[in-house]
A and B are shown apart, each in its own frame.
Chain A
Amino acid sequence: MPEFVLTVARFGFLILLWIFVFTVVGVIRRDLFAGGRSKSIVASPRGVGGAVLQGRPAKAKRGKAARQLVVTAGQLAGTRITLGEAPIAIGRAEDSTLVITDDFASARHARLVPREGQWFVEDLGSTNGTYLDRGKVSGPTPVPLGVPIRIGRTSLELRP
């Protein structure tokens, strides 16, 4: 066998070996980015248009009823809750309406209660406190639209 053929075989094998490695990596890569899980498996909410999803300027408006509670920051960012007549419990406890897995949140941290069309936020004796915009919530406080409620690292807003 001529030396040339042997050299080609020797390096050819090594090159093929590395091509195999990169092909495998390519398959893994396609696997990683194939199909975003669960994005569209949950149906889009009733009566919520795309415009609302984009987030409005945080401007307090009176007179308009709040229809949604939106998480704007924290681990659950993007979660929305359609508001009804029932109060909303927020905390780390499993039976809360909005379960926050945040080190700075208490098991039963705060509660949102509707009264005659206006939502009130109420701190339930949490360790680290609930803040409405920059003020600490001590008693039931009316929540205007678009004003952030802060609980630990999580931030919530009422939206029409």
Chain B
Amino acid sequence: MSRIRQWKTRRNAELGLLAFAMLLVAAFGATVEANQFDEIRPNFWVPAALIGILFLGLHVVVRFTAPFADPVLLPAVALINGIGVAFLRRLDIARAIANDEPVPGFFAETGGRQLAWTLLSLILAAVLLLLLRDHKVISRYAYTLGLVGIVLMMIPAVLPSSISEVNGAKLWIRLGSVSIQPGEFAKLALVSFFAYYLVRKREVLSLASHRFLGIDFPRGRDLGPVLTVWLFSLLVLVFEKDLGTALLYFGLFVVTLYVATERSSWLIIGLVLFFGGVYVAYLLGAAIGGPFANFYDRAELWLDPFSQENYTRESGNSYQLVQGLLGLGTGGLFGTGPGAGSPGKVPEVRTDFIFAGLGEEIGLFGLAALLVIYLLIVERGLHAALAVRDSFGKLVAGGLAFTLGLQVFVILGGITGLIPLTGQTTPFLSAGGSSLMANWLLIAMLLRISDAARRPANSIAERTSGPKKAPTQLHGAMTEVIKP
């Protein structure tokens, strides 16, 4: 049928966008050099080219293993990742100049390490795409993955603080110089498990209910899983001392539940439970301290970061937050230009506060563009969820896309003072291997599912001989149903 030609893989659009993204990374590097060295050195394009080659590799893998995958996901993520690497290198350059050291090489220091992490992440993503040809296979290992997810989530909580605690949050496994954030990987495993569980339970969850105040509420016993996850996320909040991670796990489950059952009552219950839990934790922190003290302190800093008391406190003061806000304020609408600001003044600018450092240099105008790109990535994920045909794929894609969006919200809300600050990584931007690897695996999953969603193969055969046609044959050859 000639119509088949309409099913474009759009891989060339992806390649074009990828080249454009790398051009932007090179432009960022050039501007940094112009501001920092007062000249653009002839090899300014090398970092952009290096990272471009890595993405090109993944593009080739996608071309062969997921030809119908969404054309926007890879270049959009590549741009954010590339700008992250370029910005980290810019910080290295600034520090080297300040210390009168030679300019760091392309593979040296934070920028170089991030480049290596990117390589590793892309290899992982490519392996996932190569091994996993059909996303439905994951559902076979759903319970294993659920167990793995909970174990990964809980490991830092039970480890002694000397191994697992960084800046008051127990989210890490530190072995010598290597530190891993297992929670990043737990997200992926938990999404798969939630999706599988809900596909099996969606009927009973969405049908059995009683009506109250015009909203359908589920039966008490069906609330079990929600309450369990709620309790788990509160435990994370208390023992790992991290609101962001707790919010992430709980939000993930509630949204998957909402997608599975199409009932807004779950969102309402979820929000009420979460805000109720957080408020109780805040009150407990004020009254008895103990494991809740950390959260109480963070909330106090959030309520008034500029107060003398909060700013000059011995430990856990609002210095970070204030420096970040001042950085964003210095940047203003258009920023100082890449390489012209002083992000070195913001603490943790390589990890949690990378958006504040970047915001000083590219301004609100640039940050908004980055946020729109994040939004588009999430939108493509949700689009894949809508378009894919099986419920498991729908829930996994929806859950993953939502997690990504929620994580950006939690960290950005934190550094801009919208919500209490918690140390989440900015996906694809912050320095750090765990986060980068986990998020690239997430993108590989979305690519796989979007490939299944857009793939026309066999659809013609399915339509003519598949079960969908069956009703038309029930009443003999004379009766046929013709859809518009």
The residues of A with any CB-CB pair to B shorter than 8 Å are 1, 5-7, 9-14, 16-18, 20-21, 23-25, 27-28, 31, 34-35, 38, 40-42, 44-45, 77-86, 88, 94-99
- Nearest to A70 among chain B residues (CB) is B482
Check: B162 CB closer than 8 A to any chain A CB.
no
> Are A21 and B372 in touch, CB under 8 angstroms?
yes
Q: Which residues of A contact B362 (CB under 8 A)?
A: 13-14, 17
Write the nearest CB–CB distance from B472 to chain A, whole angstroms. Answer: 9
Bound-complex Cα distance A13 to B70 (A): 26
Known: A27-B10, A31-B71. A21 touches B480 (CB 8 A): no
Check: B286 CB closer than 8 A to any chain A CB.
no
> Are A97 and B72 in touch, CB under 8 angstroms?
no
Write the nearest CB–CB distance from B81 to chain A, whole angstroms. Answer: 14
The residues of B with any CB-CB pair to A shorter than 8 Å are 1, 3, 6-8, 10, 13, 17, 20-21, 23-24, 27-28, 30-31, 34-35, 38-39, 70-72, 75-76, 79, 334-338, 340, 362-363, 365-366, 369-370, 372-373, 376, 379-380, 459-460, 463, 471, 474-484
> Are B338 and A11 in touch, CB under 8 angstroms?
no
10 residue pairs of the A-B complex, CB under 8 angstroms, read: A9-B34, A9-B337, A9-B338, A10-B336, A14-B369, A24-B373, A42-B482, A44-B482, A78-B483, A85-B476
Contact partner, A34, options B8, B366, B370, B478, Cβ 8 Å: B8
Q: Which residues of B contact A38 (CB under 8 A)?
A: 463, 483
Q: Which residues of A contact B474 (CB under 8 A)?
A: 95, 97
Bound-complex Cα distance A83 to B482 (A): 12
Contact partner, A84, options B76, B337, B460, B479, Cβ 8 Å: B479
> Are B376 and A24 in touch, CB under 8 angstroms?
yes
Given contacts A11-B334, A24-B72, A81-B481, 13 further A-B contacts (CB under 8 A): A6-B337, A9-B338, A10-B336, A13-B28, A27-B10, A28-B380, A35-B7, A40-B3, A41-B460, A80-B481, A81-B480, A81-B482, A97-B475
Known: A13-B338, A20-B24, A24-B373. A41 touches B463 (CB 8 A): yes
Bound-complex Cα distance A123 to B173 (A): 69
Q: Which residues of A contact B1 (CB under 8 A)?
A: 41
Bound-complex Cα distance A117 to B477 (A): 18
> Are A13 and B24 in touch, CB under 8 angstroms?
yes
Most buried by A among B3, B24, B337, B340: B337
